[in-house]
């Protein structure tokens, strides 16, 4: 063995120790980004969830209704309306709207007082918080 071998091993050991020390100092993975909580992005998430889970899925509870999104509101309150399927111009049966940053959500209308309203409120809350999927 050449005479420089111990020095080389010592250098390798120091390098390995330094790498382990550096690895132990690294911060953990940053948390996943939280969803934007302003009114428009919140209502976009709610509209996408409602459309996908309530209407496009063929859910029997929503067969006689239709989604009417009004997201580009100049009043600062983007909203979605649930209207009768055969008369979309009729008075909404449910209105879900948001305002501000962080968004303050409101859901109201006759449909919210029916058994379906409990499920709707839970879904809306989940989608507004960034959750996805249907329950």
Per-residue pLDDT of the chain (135 residues; tens, 9 = 90+): 555 455 554 555 555 555 554 455 555 665 555 678 899 999 999 999 999 999 999 999 999 999 999 999 778 899 999 999 999 999 999 999 999 999 999 999 999 999 999 999 999 999 999 999 998
Residues sharing a CB contact under 8 Å with residue 9, sequence separation 6 or more, in sequence order: none
Tell me how far apart the alpha carbons of residues 81 and 43 are, in angstroms, rounded to a whole number: 11
Tell me how far apart the alpha carbons of residues 30 and 45 are, in angstroms, rounded to a whole number: 23
Burial 114-128 (b: 16+ CB within 10 A, else e): eebbeebeebbebbb
Tell me how far apart the alpha carbons of residues 116 and 5 are, in angstroms, rounded to a whole number: 78
């Amino acid at each position: 063995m050449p005479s420089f071998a111990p020095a080389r091993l010592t250098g390798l050991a120091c390098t390995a120790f330094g790498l382990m020390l550096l690895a132990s100092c690294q911060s953990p993975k940053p948390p996943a980004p939280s969803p934007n909580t302003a009114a428009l992005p919140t209502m976009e998430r709610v509209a996408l969830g409602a459309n996908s889970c309530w209407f496009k899925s063929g859910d029997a509870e929503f067969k006689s209704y239709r989604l009417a999104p009004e997201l580009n509101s100049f009043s600062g309150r983007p909203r979605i309306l649930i209207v009768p399927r055969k008369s979309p111009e009729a008075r909404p049966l449910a209105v879900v709207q948001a305002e501000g940053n962080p968004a303050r959500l409101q859901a109201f209308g006759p449909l919210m007082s029916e058994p379906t309203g409990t499920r709707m409120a839970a879904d809306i809350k989940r989608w507004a918080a960034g959750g996805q999927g249907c329950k």
